[in-house]
Structure 1
Amino acid sequence: MSRMVLPLRALVVQAALAAVVLACSGPPDAASSGEEPLGRQEGTALATRVVGYFPTWAGDVNTIPYDRLTHINYAFVVPTAQGGLTGPSGTDARLRSLVTAAHARGVKVLIAVGGWNDGNDSGFESLAANAGTRTAFVNNLVNYVNAAGLDGVDIDWEYPDPGASAQNYAALIRELGAAMRSRGKLLTAAVVANGYYGEGIPTSTFADFDFLNIMAYDGGQPHSTYDYAVQSLNYWKGRGLPASKAVLGVPFYGRSPSSYVGYADLVARDSQAPYKDNVGDVYYNGIATIQAKTRLGLQQGGGVMIWELTQDTRNDTSLLLAIFNAAQGGGGATRYRIVNKSSGRCLDINGPSTADGATIHQWACHTGASQQWVLEPTDSGYVRIVSQYSGKVLDVRDVSTADGAGLQQWTWSNGGNQQFRTVATSGGFHRIEARHSGKVLDVTTCGTSANGTVIQQWTWSNNDCQQFRLEAQ
């Protein structure tokens, strides 16, 4: 499961962002900058929660990019059946150093309690079932928080079962929430993405928590897709959790059928790892997917959470840098309407639909999300064009290189038929070239302004049906 205690070991660099901006305003060869990654400028702040777990068994507190975070959860201490705590104490020197460094940069620190612990949640089960041990546990946590100068507690019980266990969980959280609130401290929890164990978190507890960290990974095939993130947020919000309390978890590691591999290790294996979502049979979230999930967490939830910080790189391929740049300022990347020069109509999803295979056509321009697209850098000046309605990307059907192949939306798979570059023509218009074919986006019946006319790819012939204006929204 997600928060395994294993020693596995924010958007893109400014150069990559420049590639998008310049591709929308000039020839692609203008985007060859080699500048340093973007970082937080003096006086700026993140406009959403970015919660990072930092393990007790790995990492250096002096190398954490504090300015790219809002909260750090120090993981873990483990409860005993009597309501005690095992693990580093509240006076632990490493923890105190972490708190001092984080507070100097305005970052809150919480103690994370529990974790996967080899699937052994017997300590939680026992202490929560008895009023006396619940009170002892709460008092021990209050003392721990005070001793370490912490900002609160993150409960990571994996997992309370529906039924009696869930009711004991609710009683424990009610008491712990009251103790934290009365002291001006936070109470959060890590929760399963969806399914049976989700019902082990009663809806009555939602009011006791400041927010929930949704572990939207280690589920689905392959693990931690964008669709799985959408399903996870929808599950919790569908149960009544306010969107502002739904923090979307993202992984800084990959999974194969037999192993877990940290993102930094994957980048060491394959220099192109940041720009895709698998290395062999190991699946993970590269920069583009992390960007899309950050935007999802910002727009549909209360921020993003990371398991875990020490698995990241420390250069321009950093996933935390990707998250930071997407979250900074609250809006993520610019959304565009893509307007055809000949018809004045906008690129639009038929339906509109969220399904793979939905046709891309032209339609009278409006302000709906089915006509809003974000250009997210992949590599070498190319971008993927992501729908803000569905989270799917623009895709040439059947990976065809033929004239007349239709455009559709599809789940991101890092294909060349899902990557494009915009090349300026004149008057603020561009041709939009598919990477795999070199063909450009084209309105099938040139000269028509009819709604529903399908978009295809075609050999560039410099006509108005093949030119588009990107209108920032």
Structure 2
Amino acid sequence: MRIPLLSRSLAAGSALLATVLACSGQPDPLDSSLEPLPTATVEAQALTTKVVGYFPTWQGDVNAIQYDKLSHIIYAFLLPTAQGGITGLSPGDGRLQSLVQAARARNVKVLIAVGGWMDGNDAPFEQLAANAGTRATFVTNLVNFVDQAGLDGVDIDWEWPEAGASATNFGALTRELGAALHARGKLLTAAVVASYGGEGIPTSSFSDVDFLNIMAYDAGYPHSTYDLAVQSLNYWKGRGLPQAKAVLGVPFYGRSQSSAYTYAQLVQMDAQAPNKDNVGDIYYNGIATIQAKARLGSQQGGGVMIWEISQDTSNASTSLLNAIYQVVQGNTGNNKPPAVNLTAPSAGASYAVGSTITLSANASDSDGTIARVEFFAGSTKVGEDTTSPYSITWKPGSGGSYALTARATDNGGAATVSGAISVTITGGTGGNCAGVPAWQSTQVYVKDDKATHTGKLWRAKWWTQNEAPSGAEWGPWELLGGC
């Protein structure tokens, strides 16, 4: 399954395509006349927790990067060819070298990313990885590029290998590339899907990579919830990925149903944007959510990854990267996160579709005040309250099982999510398939779309195509009931 990553395709694809089309044949990286730059020798990082920022070739100011708040920068993208070549960038590129020199002076490692969305066409990866000869050529070309550019490693961004032959080939590629890079003291990382569809990454690759960058965004609408972040870490660690190698991805952009906006644009549109997660129908991660995810990534994973750092503001008070840095450095102004617990409804309660259900929570903050309490049914926000006692009413429109949570945010921006309470909604459309079309493999489904399949009613959790509804725990479909 392939998910269209708006931030990497629609928003940036045309600029990247222009860059790629300007290059032809094998790039300068393989030109032996280029003298290799000295490799960075500093091993210690200023940050003990990974804070990994992607930085694109087509936008952003090298001099505006907050280097002191990053451990790794991944420059995106080189592009692969089916014959094992690489195109789109030279190791002597002036912008790349400015980045390397500035990062090295601050003990920040720089890697080169290969791939990206590529307009949904992963055929070059599929073809080069399937043949031992083209894999060897690809590995040689990447190692030469890293050596000549003075880089610290490679990030493979194959979107996406699938279960079966391409997964086997991905494993062979990471094994061979990892061995070549590690022999030189270099890093190998890879960007991977969030909490579903990861079968294209074999568990054998876990030992080949230094860490995986988990893209917990661009999944449904809203596209990057806290719940998705939790699911993503649990999914990869559940498959056996060591916690230290599970780096949680967060977005520095927002999405409506049809467009993408950088976080900096959203702050220009609404001065209160840093203090919330939506501007109209555009959903993103404000400071409270970003800090909650930073805590999650630091405590339950190996750190945080960002797509991408040029989309941030330059103001310290609104900067998402600065907010992440405060968390990973334990420097949130000594602000202690609030406490919150969901008090109603009762766990295991059952209601009919259309019932008015009261959701209530207790929230307190030992060193400040509660700014708001938001209530969620699964990953969907169903309301918020800014005054105590914190309570809303909710009328579910369809049947099924729902995990209800509350998230409290204090006046300093720290946030805490309550434990979940499960309730069951019965009747209505929950067991009634009248008027609901049958699932089709060619149809695109987005969050909350319904379909019938195998005599049952299903609801999509996020964008999906060609994935038959089933009861798989990490699958894109939720069972609502029988027809």
Class of the TM-score when normalised by the shorter of the 2 chains:
0.5 to 0.7
Deviation at 1:89, TM superposition (A): 1.0
Q: Name the % identity.
A: 62
Question: Do 1:8 and 1:311's aligned partners in 2 also have CA atoms closer than 8 Å?
Answer: no
Deviations 1:341-372 (A, max 9, x none): xxxxxx766699899988657xxxxxxxxx9x
Matched ranges for 1:261-410 at <5 A: 261-315=261-315, 316-329=317-330, 335=336, 383=371, 399=385, 410=405
Measured at CA, do residues 194 and 382 of structure 1 come closer, stay the same or move farther in structure 2, by a change above 3 Å? closer
What are the superposed Cα offsets for residues 245-302 of structure 1, whole Å, 9 maximum, x if unpaired? 0000000000011111111011111111111111111110011100100000001000
Q: Does 1:165 align with 2:140?
A: no
Structure 1 pair 103/374, CA: closer, same or farther in 2 (3 Å)? farther
Taking structure 1 as reference, are residues 336 and 115 closer, same or farther at Cα in structure 2, changes over 3 Å only?
Answer: closer
Secondary structure of the residue that 1:206 maps to in structure 2? helix
Deviation at 1:421, TM superposition (A): 6.2
Report 1:212-227 matches (<5 A).
212-227=212-227
Counterpart contact for 1:109–1:152, Cα < 8 Å: yes
The 3 A distance-change label for structure 1 pair 168 and 332 is farther
Q: What secondary structure is seen at the aligned counterpart in 1 of 2:306?
A: strand
Q: Aligned runs of 1:237-256 on 2, under 5 Å?
A: 237-256=237-256
Distance in 2 separating the partners of 1:148 and 1:404 = 56
Amino acid at match of 1:223: H
Equivalents in 2 of 1:244, 1:288: separation in Å? 24
2:155 paired residue number = 154
Letter in 2 for 1:162: A
Q: Does 1:4 align with 2:8?
A: yes
Q: 1:359 to 1:318 in 2, by over 3 A?
A: same
- How much does 1:411 deviate? 4.2
- The Cα shift of 1:4 comes to 1.1
State the match for 1:75 in structure 2. Answer: 76
CA distance in 1, matches of 2:194, 2:388: 41
Equivalent residue for 2:476? none
Amino acid at match of 1:121: D
Q: TM-score, normalised by structure 2?
A: 0.66
Q: Residue type matched to 1:179 in 2?
A: A
Counterpart in the other structure of 1:88: 89
1:11-54 per-residue CA deviation (whole Å, 9 max, x = no partner) reads xxxxxxxxxxxxxxxxxxxxxxxxxxxxxxxx994231000000
Could you tell me which residue of structure 1 aligns to residue 133 of structure 2? Answer: 132
Partner SS for 1:178: helix
Residue of structure 1 equivalent to 2:472 = none
Contact between 2:294 and 2:328, CA under 8 Å: does it hold in 1? Answer: yes
Contact 1:7 1:58 in 2 (8 A): no
350-359 vs 178-187, greater mean Cα deviation? 350-359
Instruction: Please name the residue that 2:29 is paired with.
Output: none
Question: Secondary structure at 2:177's aligned position in 1?
Answer: helix
Question: Shift of the alpha carbon at 1:383?
Answer: 3.8
Structural mapping, 1:32-111, within 5 Å: 45-111=46-112
CA distance in 2, matches of 1:242, 1:374: 34
Which letter maps to 1:133? T
Distance 1:404 1:202 in 2: 45
CA RMSD of aligned residues (A): 3.8
Output aligned runs, 1:412-423, within 5 Å. Answer: 412=407
Distance 1:182 1:403 in 2: 60
- Residues in 2 aligned to 1:99 and 1:404: alpha-carbon distance in whole angstroms: 50
> Is the 1:254–1:284 Cα contact (8 Å) retained in structure 2?
yes
Q: Distance in 2 between the 1:189 and 1:99 partners?
A: 20
User: Is the CA contact 2:52–2:306 (under 8 Å) kept in the aligned structure 1?
Assistant: yes
2:192 equivalent in structure 1: 191
216 and 108 in structure 1: CA distance in 2 versus 1, 3 angstrom threshold: same
What displacement does 1:62 show?
1.1
Gaps of 5+ in 2: 14-43, 350-356, 394-403, 413-483
SS at the partner of 2:139? Answer: helix
Moved beyond 6 Å, runs of 4+: 330-333, 350-359, 373-377, 395-398, 400-407
Distance 1:353 1:299, change over 3 A: farther
Output the amino acid matched with 2:298.
L
2:124 is the counterpart of 1:123: yes
Q: Deviations over 1:385-429 (max 9, x none)?
A: 799xxx99xx9998497979699x8444xxxxx56669xxxxxxx
Q: AA paired with 1:310?
A: S
Residues 1:402 and 1:117: Cα distance change in structure 2 (over 3 Å): closer
Note the C-alpha offset of 1:91: 1.3
Q: Which amino acid aligns with 2:8?
A: M
In the superposition, relative to structure 1, how do residues 350 and 99 fare at CA in structure 2: closer, same or farther (>3 Å)? same
CA positional deviation for 1:134? 0.2
Is the 2:73–2:109 contact (alpha carbons within 8 Å) kept by the matching residues of 1? yes
Kindly tell me the number of residue pairs found equivalent between the two proteins.
Answer: 358
DSSP 3-state at the match of 1:4 = coil
| 1:333/1:172 CA distance change after superposition, 3 Å | farther
Give the SS at the match of 2:83. coil
Structure 1 residues 252 and 353, CA gap change in structure 2 (3 angstroms): farther
Residues 353, 65 of structure 1: alpha-carbon distance in 2 compared, 3 angstrom cutoff = farther
Contact 1:81-1:126 within 8 A present in 2 as well: yes
Equivalent residue for 1:235?
A: 235
Query: How many Å separate the matches in 1 of 2:50 and 2:214?
Result: 13
**1: CA distance between counterparts of 2:348 and 2:107?**
39
